Chain A
């Protein structure tokens, strides 16, 4: 299976974050206990004047690759990886996920033509893939005030400015990243994402969603340096039942900074591929 993935600026990033990765490698993450979600307000968390937890900073997903969904990955283990995105979650105790028959045929087809992954063409990854990037590679900068939580993703310079007023989704709006509306439930930021345009894939392994996708994300600051991220993906025309995802974001040391991801601007991959492989040259009929 061929993967054409835009990694043009990645080398830069790897260089810049090398020390960060070394700093984070003090122990295998899978050996650590999963963070528990506290039901009572944690007084030790940093908070904004309004009382909500302060999610601000630069964060990196702590484990996992980009092939296959991250299902039930409580400790960062990618249970789906063994099955390469097979419909039953691939074993390992993760929550099973199951495609409708029509969607399963489409998934298998996309598995064969992975080069059509829109992210390989520098398109916005959508949700939850915006955060579900290869672990340790692309950080997300969070800036928060009393009205918004803004997620500035290095990957694809994807931006999500989430109002925390629980306002309704618009009617005629179809976007790669959908439309995000947030609210606070105790100390957890809950983001409802709808209005997808149906073009995004969930990963490089052919897992996908269509325009009926609906995501509920939960961001919980469990300690100063850890955000527990959970997402429930519902798509009745693709999945028989909702998908549950969970992984952690770790705070990047303060001396690191987010860098620029220029994808289209430095695109050098597609020109090497033939038309049949989705490259730049197209067959004239």
Chain B
């Protein structure tokens, strides 16, 4: 009988133990989610270390509002997290312009001319970016068209007396989150290949936050009273490129015989002009 009485006690103790372990694990999971990932530090022991090569893994560059699959291009959900319907809150006239951009996109997308992509478009292109950092210094180099942004500390006012293709960026750290304020972008920029656009009044607040050793969450809040009825926010994730020896490679466009520019890889023998000096006079490629 004693053993019979002990057995249920043993079982209930075991069950209690299992429940406790499960509860502890759940608690640990909760606290892990609640506590942000703590990135490594630069040599000053303070500044979060975001250095490295990063790239998105989705195809939002086609249309940030989401799009079905096309030949060779996977479908993508909308990366717009606010408003919750995933659509840009255009004013009516602006929406009509976006539709017109979409119709003419094969000719009018500025990126087809090898222009610098702008902010935030450069961030979610299908090409890597590299964050360069040292204590007190921060820059992002985008492989696409070798564009770069030198982030200036927000202790100095914006240089906004001219419009730029990559804007004017001021940044600060809020804990382990990099927050940047971007103005002075031209009104010739698009967000994607679908003709989504902003005006020269656009004001962007970017937030970069590491959510793990190899994941960088990127968020951009976009405000432009000329084009949108309210501010909106997009969010995406950049993944660390971990291949040994990975580097930003040179991305320069070459003109064809019709004056149209094409990206030519440095691995492409067409990029190599052999010492037949006179070839420069001829079209660089067929």
Chain A residues close to B by CB (< 8 Å): 12, 16, 48-49, 56, 102-103, 106, 113, 116, 121, 123-124, 141, 143-146, 148, 150, 152, 157-159, 161, 163, 167, 172-177, 195, 197-199, 210-212, 237, 255, 257-260, 262, 264-265, 280, 282
**Contact, CB under 8 Å: A258 / B150:** yes
- Candidate in B145, B147, B150, B281 with the most chain A CB atoms within 10 angstroms: B150
Complex Cα gap A264–B233 (Å): 30
**Contact, CB under 8 Å: A152 / B252:** no
| Residues of chain A contacted by B273 (CB below 8 angstroms) | 197-199, 210-211
| Residues of chain B contacted by A262 (CB below 8 angstroms) | 115-116, 164-165
Complex Cα gap A146–B42 (Å): 10
| Residues of chain B contacted by A49 (CB below 8 angstroms) | 43
**Contact, CB under 8 Å: A143 / B274:** no
> Of B148, B156, B258, which contacts A159 at CB under 8 A?
B148
> Of A12, A152, A257, which contacts B152 at CB under 8 A?
A257
- Supply 6 A–B pairs (Cβ within 8 Å), ascending by A: A106-B277, A175-B249, A197-B266, A210-B273, A255-B156, A282-B257
**Contact, CB under 8 Å: B255 / A172:** no
| Residues of chain B contacted by A177 (CB below 8 angstroms) | 250
Residue of B whose beta carbon sits closest to that of A107: B277
Complex Cα gap A197–B268 (Å): 10
Residue of A whose beta carbon sits closest to that of B130: A161
**Contact, CB under 8 Å: A174 / B266:** yes
Q: What's the minimum C-beta distance from A134 to chain B, rounded to whole angstroms?
A: 20
Q: What's the minimum C-beta distance from A64 to chain B, rounded to whole angstroms?
A: 25
| Residues of chain A contacted by B145 (CB below 8 angstroms) | 157
Verify if B1 is at the interface (C-beta below 8 Å from A).
Answer: no
Residue of B whose beta carbon sits closest to that of A150: B132
Residue of A whose beta carbon sits closest to that of B147: A157
| Residues of chain B contacted by A259 (CB below 8 angstroms) | 159, 162, 164
Number of interface residues of B (CB under 8 A): 53
Verify if B41 is at the interface (C-beta below 8 Å from A).
Answer: no
Q: What's the minimum C-beta distance from A104 to chain B, rounded to whole angstroms?
A: 11
Complex Cα gap A158–B115 (Å): 14
Q: Indicate with 1 or 0, residue by residue over B124-164, a CB within 8 angstroms of chain A CB atoms.
A: 00000010111001010100011110101000100100101
| Residues of chain A contacted by B150 (CB below 8 angstroms) | 141, 152, 257-258
| Residues of chain B contacted by A258 (CB below 8 angstroms) | 150
**Contact, CB under 8 Å: A159 / B146:** yes
**Contact, CB under 8 Å: B275 / A172:** no
Complex Cα gap A106–B162 (Å): 41
| Residues of chain A contacted by B130 (CB below 8 angstroms) | 161
**Contact, CB under 8 Å: A260 / B164:** yes
Q: A121-B255, A145-B134, A152-B150 are in contact. Are A161 and B247 (CB under 8 A)?
A: yes
Q: A143-B137, A197-B271, A211-B272 are in contact. Are A175 and B255 (CB under 8 A)?
A: no
Residue of B whose beta carbon sits closest to that of A262: B165
Verify if B259 is at the interface (C-beta below 8 Å from A).
Answer: yes
Q: A157-B148, A260-B165, A262-B164 are in contact. Are A143 and B132 (CB under 8 A)?
A: yes
**Contact, CB under 8 Å: A159 / B141:** yes
Verify if B225 is at the interface (C-beta below 8 Å from A).
Answer: no
**Contact, CB under 8 Å: B250 / A141:** no
Complex Cα gap A19–B51 (Å): 34
| Residues of chain B contacted by A148 (CB below 8 angstroms) | 132
**Contact, CB under 8 Å: A197 / B272:** yes
**Contact, CB under 8 Å: A212 / B275:** yes
**Contact, CB under 8 Å: B266 / A175:** yes
**Contact, CB under 8 Å: A264 / B274:** no
| Residues of chain A contacted by B271 (CB below 8 angstroms) | 174-175, 197
**Contact, CB under 8 Å: B132 / A280:** no
**Contact, CB under 8 Å: A173 / B267:** yes
| Residues of chain A contacted by B269 (CB below 8 angstroms) | 174
Residue of A whose beta carbon sits closest to that of B152: A257
Verify if B248 is at the interface (C-beta below 8 Å from A).
Answer: yes
**Contact, CB under 8 Å: B141 / A280:** no
Verify if B280 is at the interface (C-beta below 8 Å from A).
Answer: yes
**Contact, CB under 8 Å: A124 / B252:** yes
| Residues of chain A contacted by B248 (CB below 8 angstroms) | 159, 161
**Contact, CB under 8 Å: A172 / B267:** yes
Complex Cα gap A42–B18 (Å): 66
- Candidate in A145, A152, A212, A265 with the most chain B CB atoms within 10 angstroms: A265
Verify if B114 is at the interface (C-beta below 8 Å from A).
Answer: yes
| Residues of chain A contacted by B274 (CB below 8 angstroms) | 198, 210-211
Q: Which 5 A-B pairs have the closest CB atoms?
A: A175-B250, A174-B272, A198-B273, A260-B164, A106-B277
